[in-house]
Amino acid sequence: DAGVTQSPTHLIKTRGQQVTLRCSPKSGHDTVSWYQQALGQGPQFIFQYYEEEERQRGNFPDRFSGHQFPNYSSELNVNALLLGDSALYLCASSSRLGNTEAFFGQGTRLTVV
């Protein structure tokens, strides 16, 4: 079992550009959540997807959007990048069946210059 895989691992973008981050959940999991972690801070919840729809959203602007595919994998898109979007973006997968743990990927380190 490969666990949660995220790609790419590192990314450098310019202000104003758009970026797409990808996540493959752990086998057997149907729910994907995305988190943003600024340096020295705890992860902040962005949104969660299951059954290919956004189910819950944190306090993030509409520039942050996502998608979930039929195979449960997910994408996080960020438009009009700002310097403040520089962070570690984490994907977590879980199952809606029972109060089970979430498994996190290693994250994508995004640097906006």
3-state secondary structure of 83: helix
> Which of 64, 81, 87, 104 touches another protein (CB under 8 A)?
104
Residues in the chain: 113
Taking CB under 8 A as the criterion, the residue among 68, 85, 105, 110 binding another protein is 105
User: Are the C-beta atoms of 26 and 93 separated by less than 8 Å?
Assistant: yes
Is 84 an interacting residue with respect to another protein (CB under 8 A)? no
Cis peptide before 43 (omega within 30 of 0): no
Strand partners, 89: 36, 108
Q: Which of residues 16-75 bind another protein (CB under 8 A)?
A: 31, 33, 35, 41-45, 48, 50, 55-56, 58
103 lines the binding site for another protein (CB under 8 A): yes
> Which tokens hold the place of 25?
């959940």
Indicate the residue among 8 and 16 with the shorter CB distance to another protein. Answer: 8
| Terminal Cα distance for the chain, rounded | 36
Residues in contact with another protein by the rule CB under 8 A? 4, 31, 33, 35, 41-45, 48, 50, 55-56, 58, 90, 92, 94, 96, 99, 101-107
